[in-house]
Structure 1
Amino acid sequence: MAGRTTSRHAGDTKSRILDAAETLFIDCGYEAMSLRQITSRAEVNLAAVNYHFGSKESLIHSMLSRRLDRLNEERVKLLERFDHMLGERLTCEHVLGAMFIPALRLSRDPRVGGKAFLRLLGRAYTDPSAFIRDFLNAHYASVAVRFFDAFQRALPHLPREELGWRLHFAIGALSGVLAGADTESLIAEFSQGKSMNDLQLIARLASLMVAALKAPLPDASQLAMFAAVLGDATDSDTAADTSAGSDGAAPNREHKAAAAAHEAPDEAGGSGLSPCPADAFLAPAASGTRASSATAGFDGEPRGGALEARAVLPHALHGAT
């Protein structure tokens, strides 16, 4: 009997530590939280943390895994179900549904975090710590690959580089909303006091992301338009030269517009723009000869499957969208 009591007490202590770490991570982020804060909130001593986890890093690994492992298992199961049902008819909406639906279901379950679950996901996706990013990239790379490939099949007209950019922007925006403490109050305000079920919420999320993912590639006229806008913004910094009689402002805009038109997407579907820098999404890639445009992704490295997924979806699949 005494053994059972001791075991139950140890389990309660471990759960309290994990709960405290989760709350502080949501509120403060990885870098700002300390073991002292965790032990104080969990009402345990530092020895208890060392006994159960060994270090802050190991504790955070355990804290994330206990939520995200199940989430990603459910996501993969649902994606496989859609794949089996639809095959080549798999749609962008189904892939997004496989991302969103399990997250919403788990957020309704108080045993796995309840209402705080979505905020945990948002914080995990947006936390700037290299430690969090590296953990997510390494621990859930296979899931990221599955979803990136599914998006590629559902959106075959998009070059992989372009798909990477769009997923990064769309999921990043969604993650920022999830991480906010006022998300629920905003939903209540926007819905004007009316209840919003999962179908309505998923439809709103998916409609925005689908529109972003399916938007046509920018053509020469659009690039020229934004080049002119940037030129006008630059001209404001050189107003002194212009007022002195320089007539170089308009030609400067025309030159930028022409350059933008030259960089417009080609008939083969390429973006025509420089690849995204590798350090925009992940640690600098190994140096070496760049692959051809047919086999290289947005970081200019040869495609092996996991690289683009680690770069694009670490904040979406390791715990989105």
Structure 2
Amino acid sequence: MPETAARILTAALEAFAERGFDGASVKEITERAGANIAAVNYHFRSKDDLIRAVLEHFLGEINAARLAALEHCEAVAGPGGPTLEALAEALIRPMVRLSRDRQDGRAIVRLLLQARALPRGSTNSVLAAQFDPVHLRFLAALQGAAPWLAHEDIVWRYDFARGAMMQILADLDRGTNRLASISPQVAGADDDAVVRQLVTFIAAGFRAPPAPR
């Protein structure tokens, strides 16, 4: 990717996370990137295309790392296949590690929450393309690791796992720091601690008995 385009994507990620898709202007983004508006038009054509490119670039990096982690834990697993802990870590660690921005915040998490809260056709299509193949791969692997659960239970618990991850990352985001007044120890947790806590929680959730029908 050209260096100017990369700077624009990073600047756009930060601006959209801080001010929203509609609130952040192309002029503000180019000023952050040290570029001119013509560069945005050249590399991305329009603001809507820039929004899509930001989501595709940063989510693509995270999801590629997730699939690579999943393939690795399947390759090194014993005859019984990957453990629930290994699968949970493959899902969680890439997001925890790669969602940090250059201000040590979680801009991509804020952007995802915004895209979910204020859906639009252009972002919905990107999210579907980025996440649906990943979801299907993890659901199949989790079904193999928890064969006592019905498929619908796997889907429920997988979505709970994703929700827990997004909630804690949003609360630990430097821009919000929602946990500082509740627990300074938790608020100051490093990425490894976040992963350990999430993996333990998620694996226990999958091992719980099925919900009553």
TM-score using structure 1 length:
0.54
Alignment equivalent of 1:92, drawn from 84, 96, 108: 84
The alpha-carbon distance between structure 1 residues 101 and 120, as it changes in their structure 2 partners (threshold 3 A), is: same
Query: Hey, what's the Cα distance between the residues in 2 that align with 1:213 and 1:122?
Result: 27
Query: Hey, what's the Cα distance between the residues in 2 that align with 1:188 and 1:90?
Result: 38
User: Is contact 2:69–2:90 with CA below 8 Å preserved after alignment?
Assistant: yes
User: Is contact 1:20–1:38 with CA below 8 Å preserved after alignment?
Assistant: yes
Query: Hey, what's the Cα distance between the residues in 2 that align with 1:122 and 1:149?
Result: 28
- Percent identity over the alignment? 32
More helix by share: 2
Query: Hey, what's the Cα distance between the residues in 1 that align with 2:185 and 2:98?
Result: 25
Give the CA deviation at 1:137.
0.9
Give the CA deviation at 1:126.
5.3
Structure 2 runs not aligned, ≥5 long: none
Alignment of 1:1-321 (within 5 A): 11-42=2-33, 44-86=35-77, 87-106=79-98, 113=102, 115-116=104-105, 118-124=106-112, 127-128=115-116, 129-130=119-120, 131-180=122-171, 181-182=173-174, 186=179, 190-192=183-185, 196-219=189-212, 265=213
RMSD: 3.2
How many residues in Structure 1 have an aligned counterpart in Structure 2?
A: 207
User: Is contact 2:56–2:126 with CA below 8 Å preserved after alignment?
Assistant: no
Question: What residue in structure 2 maps to residue 4 of structure 1?
Answer: none
Query: Hey, what's the Cα distance between the residues in 1 that align with 2:7 and 2:192?
Result: 34
The alpha-carbon distance between structure 1 residues 125 and 155, as it changes in their structure 2 partners (threshold 3 A), is: farther
Structure 1 runs not aligned, ≥5 long: 1-9, 220-264, 266-321
Q: Which SS does the other structure have where 1:127 is aligned?
A: helix
User: What amino acid is the match of 2:193?
Assistant: Q
Whose radius of gyration is greater, 1 or 2? Answer: 1
Give the CA deviation at 1:104.
3.6
The alpha-carbon distance between structure 1 residues 56 and 168, as it changes in their structure 2 partners (threshold 3 A), is: same
The alpha-carbon distance between structure 1 residues 139 and 104, as it changes in their structure 2 partners (threshold 3 A), is: closer
The alpha-carbon distance between structure 1 residues 104 and 194, as it changes in their structure 2 partners (threshold 3 A), is: closer
Stretch of structure 1 that moved more, 79-88 or 93-102: 79-88
Query: Hey, what's the Cα distance between the residues in 2 that align with 1:153 and 1:98?
Result: 15
User: What amino acid is the match of 1:101?
Assistant: R
